[in-house]
A and B are shown apart, each in its own frame.
Chain A
Amino acid sequence: MSDMPKDNYDSTENIIKELRATFREEAYELLAELESALLELEKNPKDKEQIGRAFRAMHTIKGSGGACEFHDIVSFTHDLETMFDKVRSGKVAATRKIIDITLLARDHIKAMLNSYYQGGSTDETKGKDIIAQLKELMSQTAMQERAVIAPERRTSPRDAPPLAKTYRIRFRPSADVFDQGVNPIKLLDELRELGPCKIVAQTEAIPFLEDFDPRTNYTYWDVILTTSHGMNAIQDVFIFVKDTAEVKIEVIDEEDSPDDETSYKYLGDILVERGDLTPEDMKKSLKAKKLIGEVLVETGVVPTAKVESALVEQQHVRDLRERRHGVDATLNIRVATSKLDILADLVGELVTVQARLTQTALDSGMSALISIAEEVERLTGAIRENTMNIRMLPIGTTFSKFKRHVRDLSAELGKEIELTTNGAETELDKTVIERLGDPLVHIIRNCIDHGIERPEERMKAGKPRRGEIHLSAVHSGAHVLISIRDDGAGLNTEAIRAKAIEKGLLQPDALVSEQALREMIVAPGFSTAAKVTGVSGRGVGMDVVKKAIDALHGALEISSVRGVGTTITLKLPLTLAIIDGFLTRIGEENFIFPLSLVDECVELTRENAFSKGGRHLIDVRGHIVPFIRLREQFAITGDAPLIEQIVIARVDNRRVGFVVDRVIGGHQTVIKNLGTFYKDVEGISGATILGDGTVALILDVPKLVRITEQQEVDLASAGG
């Protein structure tokens, strides 16, 4: 590199920079894939598919890491791969201990990647320790295997079926095969029984009628067979013709091949490998500006059936590989998320400008302009919807991260817990998914620490030893409902009441419903854990969860049955960039409610409103609803109109009213941050620009309710 001219050096550096940027997302995905495969393998240590998945992930990290010049990652992953190859080749069983250390190795690779992408350094000795541990463990396990398992394996070779391989078979029976009493079609049927199989008969030797001898076989076959039964099983099919027939069997694809690509060989290469085309003829044919298959058939260099047979092989292997990769690569492209963020921002601007255009067109009264504005509105709506769809990701990637959490934390606490999931394919905006990770971790930690009982307690209660945490996601209109259900002890409302009184969150003589007590677990500083553990119980977890869900314009519901379990349901908007808002006005100021929280609007009159204990209340069709005067809350000057409006919103399953001057109606709200100067303004979560260019503030409804409740508590305390 030192002799390299500076320009070349710079361009190489740039290429590596670009490669690293491109690899970034994939690298973390591969680590997630590795972790997921190892956790599945733990459940079924003989699952060759998972071993293959883990191995492929390591191999790709190593390969791509090499291209990015991540030398320490390459070296470490190479050692890890070498060790893990013993598991892959069946020399060593995938024990819990081996999986533990391989998971640690995976974490170490992640730390090394983080140091490249986020700065910092990694502990080299830790990496060496991990490899040393793995080496020792492998040799111990291999010895134990030889001593204990090996004899068993000899007696039951089918114990762990080998991975599927794809074979290319050329079967050419002798001309007198019929006289031998052998029916070649039966042999082909036997091959079909071994696995998915494609068969092409080669019949170019069949003569004209005058030379045709009915007792002679003129046909041979090309077979592509995918089977896990192994070479011997295939050879057994031909056992009775082995001395007279020509049988050539080659492996052309392996399930755990480290060089597993979705593509496969070119047609010409397949024909050359088969001996149906000479390399010289291939070169000649490639010179023609046509598909090689067409050239070969047209020139008569290779018979049609041989070309077709090679195409069948190509398609068979490509299909297999694409299925293994789980995607049709041609249908997907990888785009940096930063580009999507820019696109979403631009669409936000477009929606704002479109609103101004509509407003201006309406003000002008020009029908031609109004018509154009309507068309632009329709197109903008379509662009907005499509852009938001592009940003949607399945929540399954987040779900799978928790498997490791559950595994490690339950082991640490001496509990046996299984994490099950449903609706992993449910899609949410990527920003929502990113911001959902931490709240979900807190909830799951609480389930493990406080919810699920120890195995012996569960047995005593007549429950299965192993507890279950079930994560599920489902679409519900413009929202996604995510529920976290455990089959643990359920919430102890008596303990919650006692703790709430102790913490001063509840008056000793207060009449509180069971449900209200359950919801107290999300109150700031609340914790019923007998001791503070490293897992949860610091009394901040559920409060943080509530805040995070509020910030996502979502809602949280808790239901629990003592002794049966607890379910926490999160209701989240599909996207955060643009929401359906409900525009209102107080004086000259515009305020927007998230439409998803709005139940209804009613008029505020002197007849239906009253005050009690410092609280504003209104009678809505016989139900009492507390309300908040936003004019007072935001200190807006000027007189209120004679008839005001109350927007009734639903917060934490309770209805709360907000008094405004006027209700304008629905509004496509592009959310803008308030900026650092205004980030501490309470009760406002953001802002948006209206069609006439003025700014409207987006209300943080749950926060406003909490502020008001606190003011009432302070008032009551001051009053005595």
Chain B
Amino acid sequence: MQTTFSQSGNKSYITLEGDLTLPNAEALKGIFTKALQESDDVSVAIVTVENVDLSCLQLLCSAHRSAMRSKKKVTFIGSPPQAFNDAVEATGLARGAAGCKLDDGYSCLWMSVKGDRHE
């Protein structure tokens, strides 16, 4: 997995490329923890992905919740690649109506995933 992290004022940018899988989950946790400590608004660009597993999807969810708790933001920039969306669909994470109880502004990451939900 290749990642970049940059910061501009109160905003952080993270780009993710390669496999979003368990072996990389720990490193990913570190990146998101740092980004949320140092900024209020974290934008994530998923450039290309080959494999995505549940551990990394859970991690993105955790990062988003942590941001919500602190009145911060974690959002995707642009549309994630199809392979990522497919993994979200396959995991049954895609949401139609609303996210979790912490998501008061309809910012749930999984609501942005388009397609035939749940199936």
Using a CB–CB cutoff of 8 Å, the interface residues on chain A facing chain B are 178, 183-185, 188-189, 192, 196-201, 203-204, 206-210, 212, 214-215, 217-219, 221, 223, 297, 300, 303-305, 308, 312
Q: Do B118 and A198 touch (CB < 8 A)?
A: yes
B59 interface residue per 8 A CB criterion? yes
B1 interface residue per 8 A CB criterion? no
Q: Which residues of A contact B62 (CB under 8 A)?
A: 206-209, 212
Q: Do B54 and A184 touch (CB < 8 A)?
A: yes
B33 interface residue per 8 A CB criterion? yes
Chain A nearest CB: distance from B26 CB in Å?
A: 5
Q: Which residues of A contact B90 (CB under 8 A)?
A: 185, 188-189
B48 interface residue per 8 A CB criterion? no
Chain B nearest CB: distance from A587 CB in Å?
A: 74
Q: Do A297 and B100 touch (CB < 8 A)?
A: no
Describe A's contact surface by its main secondary structure: mixed
CA distance A300 to B53 in the complex (A): 30
Q: Which residues of B contact A188 (CB under 8 A)?
A: 90-92
Q: Which residues of A contact B99 (CB under 8 A)?
A: 304
Residue of A nearest to B62 (CB): A212
Q: Do B29 and A208 touch (CB < 8 A)?
A: no
Known: A188-B91, A189-B90, A198-B119. A209 touches B63 (CB 8 A): yes
Which of A185, A207, A209 contacts B87 (CB under 8 A)? A185
Contacts A/B (CB < 8 Å), 7 sampled: A178-B22, A178-B55, A185-B54, A199-B92, A201-B92, A206-B61, A300-B101
Using a CB–CB cutoff of 8 Å, the interface residues on chain B facing chain A are 22, 25-26, 28-29, 32-33, 36, 53-56, 58-59, 61-63, 65-66, 69, 87, 90-93, 95-101, 118-119
Q: Which residues of A contact B28 (CB under 8 A)?
A: 214
Chain A nearest CB: distance from B74 CB in Å?
A: 10
Chain B nearest CB: distance from A312 CB in Å?
A: 6
Which of B25, B65, B97 contacts A208 (CB under 8 A)? B65
CA distance A219 to B22 in the complex (A): 15
Chain B nearest CB: distance from A481 CB in Å?
A: 42
Q: Which residues of B contact A207 (CB under 8 A)?
A: 62, 65
Q: Do A214 and B100 touch (CB < 8 A)?
A: no
CA distance A357 to B101 in the complex (A): 68
CA distance A251 to B56 in the complex (A): 33
Chain B nearest CB: distance from A125 CB in Å?
A: 56
Q: Which residues of A contact B33 (CB under 8 A)?
A: 209-210
CA distance A184 to B69 in the complex (A): 28
Q: Do A212 and B29 touch (CB < 8 A)?
A: yes
**Considering residues B53, B58, B92, which has the most beta carbons from chain A within 10 angstroms of its beta carbon?**
B92
Chain A nearest CB: distance from B37 CB in Å?
A: 10
Q: Do B55 and A304 touch (CB < 8 A)?
A: no
Which of B63, B93, B96, B98 contacts A203 (CB under 8 A)? B93
Chain B nearest CB: distance from A702 CB in Å?
A: 58
Chain B nearest CB: distance from A1 CB in Å?
A: 52
Chain A nearest CB: distance from B10 CB in Å?
A: 19
Q: Do A217 and B54 touch (CB < 8 A)?
A: yes
Q: Do B101 and A197 touch (CB < 8 A)?
A: no
Q: Do B58 and A305 touch (CB < 8 A)?
A: no
Q: Do B92 and A212 touch (CB < 8 A)?
A: no
CA distance A197 to B119 in the complex (A): 6
Residue of B nearest to A205 (CB): B58
Q: Do A185 and B53 touch (CB < 8 A)?
A: yes
Q: Do A201 and B91 touch (CB < 8 A)?
A: yes
Q: Which residues of A contact B95 (CB under 8 A)?
A: 304-305, 308
Which of A185, A199, A303 contacts B100 (CB under 8 A)? A303
Q: Do B100 and A204 touch (CB < 8 A)?
A: yes
**Considering residues B29, B62, B101, which has the most beta carbons from chain A within 10 angstroms of its beta carbon?**
B62
